[in-house]
Structure 1
């Protein structure tokens, strides 16, 4: 038995679910909702952050410059250099931008005025994964040619000829079809489940305290709200981790698409 099954029978309590992620559009335009606004605001914040961090650079960095340089070097070295290898520098701007965008949009889930990550709507996760898919396949085709790239991603070196009918479909499915699906669904599922869990504990705790009469329910409501703080801390970790994983996998896909040997 979980909290959902306990709260569902209580009169007047609406169990959080998929409907909790539906937001009305502004000015009667369905797609012009708070999720889109969050994404637009995140772009403004990210551009402003990196513009400020890149100005007035000094040999002895200020606190702001130190924060910006630390973030940049983390993505540059821990993701770009370590995953892509010697030809990583030209991909660092993409990786920094991608990491920044995913991280800020994930952190909307713990910001008091929003409390919903942008990627909790699956379309945004699909869009980001689709962008990555176009990039790593595009650079692979540019380097090897269309048919050369297909051979590169579907025929591992050293595989005997008689195994081609089995290996080629599996490799094509894995590298071309499954990668963007898993990349998007991993991000979406973590953001959706985390936000839903927060809703259950916060709304359930509020209902038990305000609307329920038995003292046991009120105590349970207080415990639920306190536990929601733990969930928020866990969500902060998961949101940062998912931004890292998404960017790291992007670097891995770029590396595999351009490697001389698959």
Structure 2
């Protein structure tokens, strides 16, 4: 009761304000009212793309047979994605064909996710549905294209009418296969990524906003309840480490699922 009373009153009487969904719709910074309107979220996305291009240019412009430590680290990272996410599900032939696409997915999503824990940015580029939805739609188009490229119209037959099933079950099975393959896959790709980034942002903002409130409002007024800010700050640091793990994991999950969906599109039976 005492803590809830403290949280309900600020020094200015306006009350404690936690994070809200409005955080993901920041005010416009540049070109308001035009198709080129840029808010904080769009600025973060542009910054990530520029930094990724710069990173890969710097990392690959002077590769040596006797690599430096930085080159070893870069090659290990790229090799992990190439071998573990691309070649393991797809094999060498298909892996070479879709390697650039899947690696782009992984590093783009990873870069966008990590901005959520960088001081000064503190908002993931994938925390609003627009970018995850675009990436999911592109992935949807790629795995459908892969199926038609490998099997032609037989791709639809194999997808919607799995072999070895009694004909009367197709009445139920075919609509389910259509929904699962062509609707559920892209929707879950986009929603899984977005919801994880939203949840992580809300949790971190709650912890650090509460810390600021306890230290600079409650404790500053001489109320020792403000020492609870030590706990909220500690929880914030713990959740930040957890959030970094989740951000890396979500980039991995999105990329590996893209590989798996491509592989499912080209196999003879699934």
In the superposition, the TM-score normalised over structure 1's length comes to 0.92
| Structure 1 residue runs without a partner (length 5+) | none
| Displacement after TM superposition at 1:216 (Å) | 4.3
Pick one of 241, 249, 252 that aligns with 1:244: 252
Aligned counterparts, 1:1-262, within 5 A:
9-10=8-9, 11-29=14-32, 31-87=37-93, 88-145=95-152, 147-212=153-218, 213=221, 215-262=223-270
| Displacement after TM superposition at 1:17 (Å) | 1.1
CA RMSD, 1 decimal: 2.0
Q: Distance in 2 between matches of 1:56 and 1:137?
A: 38
Q: Distance in 2 between matches of 1:209 and 1:195?
A: 21
Confirm or deny: 8 A CA contact 1:99 1:243 kept in the other structure.
yes
Confirm or deny: 8 A CA contact 1:7 1:204 kept in the other structure.
no
What are the superposed Cα offsets for residues 14-55 of structure 1, whole Å, 9 maximum, x if unpaired?
Answer: 221101222111235264112112212211211222222222
- Match of 2:205, SS state, is helix
Q: Distance in 1 between matches of 2:187 and 2:56?
A: 30
- Match of 1:80, SS state, is helix
Q: Distance in 2 between matches of 1:167 and 1:232?
A: 44
| Structure 2 residue runs without a partner (length 5+) | none
Confirm or deny: 8 A CA contact 1:7 1:15 kept in the other structure.
no
What are the superposed Cα offsets for residues 137-196 of structure 1, whole Å, 9 maximum, x if unpaired?
Answer: 122223333x43222221222112121111101111001000011111110011000000
| Displacement after TM superposition at 1:64 (Å) | 2.0
Q: How many residue pairs get matched?
A: 259
What are the superposed Cα offsets for residues 192-248 of structure 1, whole Å, 9 maximum, x if unpaired?
Answer: 000000011100111122112463431112210121011111111110111111100
